């Protein structure tokens, strides 16, 4: 259901039906692991995928940064310059 580099890869899924009776599959919520890392200041124009490419040499690992923070939407992490966000070591 998810590619190997997705944060949802290997997560348990559940099956149900929408109000029209169509079968749907959804990923179960997962518990976020505690991460070791450091704070990083967001600069105007920063993007998580670009930060991930610079930090991990892999732009698809932006979700590691998103998971280390408490925002519901990852893009809101970089919407405000001079904000400190958490960046995991790995």
Q: Which domains does the chain have, with CATH numbers?
A: 1-31 (no CATH), 35-88 (3.10.350)
This prediction's pTM: 0.66
Instruction: Give the model's confidence band at 20: pLDDT under 50 very low, under 70 low, under 90 confident, else very high.
Output: very high
CB 30 within 8 A of CB 67: no
**Cβ partners under 8 Å of residue 27, min gap 6:** 1, 2, 8, 11, 12, 13
**Phi/psi-derived region of residue 62, left when phi > 0, alpha when psi is between -120 and 50, beta in every other case:** alpha
Rg of the chain, C-alpha, whole Å = 16
**Residues 35-53 pLDDT 10s:** 788 999 999 999 999 999 9
């Amino acid at each position: 259901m998810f590619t190997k580099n997705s944060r949802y890869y290997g997560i348990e899924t559940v099956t149900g039906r929408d109000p029209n009776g169509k079968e749907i599959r959804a990923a179960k919520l997962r518990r976020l692991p505690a991460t070791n890392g450091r704070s990083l200041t967001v600069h105007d124009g920063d993007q998580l995928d670009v930060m991930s490419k610079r930090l991990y040499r892999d732009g698809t690992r932006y979700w590691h940064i998103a998971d280390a923070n408490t925002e519901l939407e990852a893009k809101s992490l970089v919407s405000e310059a001079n904000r400190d966000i958490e960046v995991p070591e790995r």
